[in-house]
């Protein structure tokens, strides 16, 4: 094979690679738009009347995740199945955002931490990497850390809305989350940096709980803790 033939073949390979990346980019843009719509919907819970509409907002968000599943099915077809990590950077950010949104919905519904397997099911992908397009563990953990920051904000806004028991429950949840992360040996620099931010979320929520205690509102919160979430 001549040098010109060799480079012609290389150019063909480069062109094919660029075509794949362009097709992936188009689907990722659609996923990002759906993620923005879900986020906009869920941000309503931070407003005063928003707590009264949590079930309705969660139901609507789950309808949007139906669109996510359809878009994920399309994404799976845009690249060779055995080259997931070659193109992973293209959808990593939006996937982490979708993990956070799924985790936020589940927390609002049940005040529990969603499992990686459950998130994968919500998104219409696999939890096991051996089965194809899957939810990477680090992407799951990054989404959970974003949830912690969102709950710290929710704790503050709960007080503003007159819901004094919610910050106590959030505090318990975040401390359990922090204890769980302490069990992990995190080697990924980006994930480790994001985990370091969890201590600020814990501190922020502790300050909210302390303020409730100083104002004597924690007693009211404890009495009402057995009521409707």
State pLDDT tens for residues 36-90.
Answer: 999 999 999 998 777 888 999 999 999 999 999 999 999 999 998 889 999 999 9
- Per-residue confidence (pLDDT) for residue 26, from 0 to 100: 96
Please identify, among 103, 120, 135, the residue that sits at the C-terminal boundary of a domain.
135
Look up residue 207 and give its two tokens: 């300050």
Residue ranges of the alpha helices (H) in 43-136?
54-76, 84-110, 116-123
pLDDT along the chain (229 residues), means of 10: 70 74 95 98 86 92 98 95 91 97 98 97 95 94 96 93 91 96 85 90 94 78 49
Domain count for the chain, please give it. Answer: 2
Same domain, 60 and 84: yes
Which residues contact residue 200 at a Cβ distance below 8 angstroms, ignoring those fewer than 6 apart? none
113 located within any domain: yes
Domain boundary among 105, 135, 165: 135
Same domain, 62 and 119: yes
Residue 205 placed within a domain: yes
228 is in an annotated binding site: no
Residue 144: the pLDDT is 97
Query: Which token pair is 227?
Result: 């009521």
Are 127 and 213 in the same domain? no
Domain that holds residue 115: 20-135
pTM: 0.88
């Amino acid at each position: 094979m001549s040098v010109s033939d060799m480079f012609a073949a290389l150019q063909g390979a480069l062109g094919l690679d660029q075509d794949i990346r362009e097709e992936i980019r188009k689907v990722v843009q659609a996923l990002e738009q759906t993620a923005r719509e879900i986020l906009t919907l869920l941000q309503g819970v931070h407003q005063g009347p928003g707590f009264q509409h949590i079930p309705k907002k969660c139901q609507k968000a789950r309808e949007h995740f139906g669109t996510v599943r359809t878009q994920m099915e399309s994404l799976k077809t845009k690249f060779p199945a055995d080259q997931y990590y070659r193109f992973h950077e293209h959808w990593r950010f939006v996937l982490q955002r979708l993990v956070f949104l799924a985790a936020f919905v589940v927390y609002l519904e049940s005040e529990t931490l969603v499992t990686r397997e459950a998130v994968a099911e919500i998104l219409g992908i696999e939890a096991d990497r051996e089965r194809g397009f899957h939810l990477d563990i680090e992407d799951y953990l990054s989404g959970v850390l974003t949830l912690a920051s969102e709950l710290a904000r929710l704790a503050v806004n709960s007080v503003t809305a007159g819901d004094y028991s919610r910050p106590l429950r959030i505090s318990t949840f975040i401390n359990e989350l922090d204890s769980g992360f302490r069990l992990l040996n995190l080697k990924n620099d980006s994930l480790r940096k994001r985990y370091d931010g969890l201590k600020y979320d814990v501190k922020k929520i502790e300050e909210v709980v302390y303020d409730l205690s100083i104002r004597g509102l924690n007693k009211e919160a404890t009495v009402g803790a057995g009521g409707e979430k």
